[in-house]
Amino acid sequence: MDRVALRGLKARGHHGVFPKERAEGQTFIVDLSLGLDTRPAAADDDLAKTVHYGIVAQEVVAVVEGEPVDLIETLAERIAQTCLKHAGVQEVEVCVHKPDAPITVPFDDVTVTITRSRV
């Protein structure tokens, strides 16, 4: 399976279990790897036969900026389902980064990574 990847999509969301996270929001970063067959698009040089990653990026940002959820696991699932709505996408790996998570010790990042497919 071929891959189309988007890395470092940034959006501000109000996700988290703590009131401060919901009130103030924070930046979330999303990495995607979309699994699809790109041969038809390449053969005909036709955007309509592949996934339009610009549209996917806009949709993912809308999910992050949208309805708040408690868990980034839930956010990752919503993003995955949004990506799978595109006809050619057979599989998606979603990694949601929460670099400003409310942790009391030094850390670089918190991530949740999921893989979902049509099967």
State pLDDT tens for residues 69-118.
999 999 999 999 999 999 999 999 999 999 999 999 999 999 999 999 98
In the set 20, 49, 85, 98, the catalytic residue is 98
pTM, two decimal places: 0.96
pLDDT at residue 107 in the model: 97
Burial of 7 (0-12, 13-18, 19+ CB in 10 A): exposed
- Does 23 score more than 90 pLDDT? yes
Q: What is residue 100's DSSP assignment?
A: T
Q: Could you give the CA distance from residue 29 to residue 9 in angstroms, rounded to a whole number?
A: 5
- Does 119 score more than 90 pLDDT? no
Contact 48, 38 (CB under 8 A): no
Residue 20 annotated to the active site: no
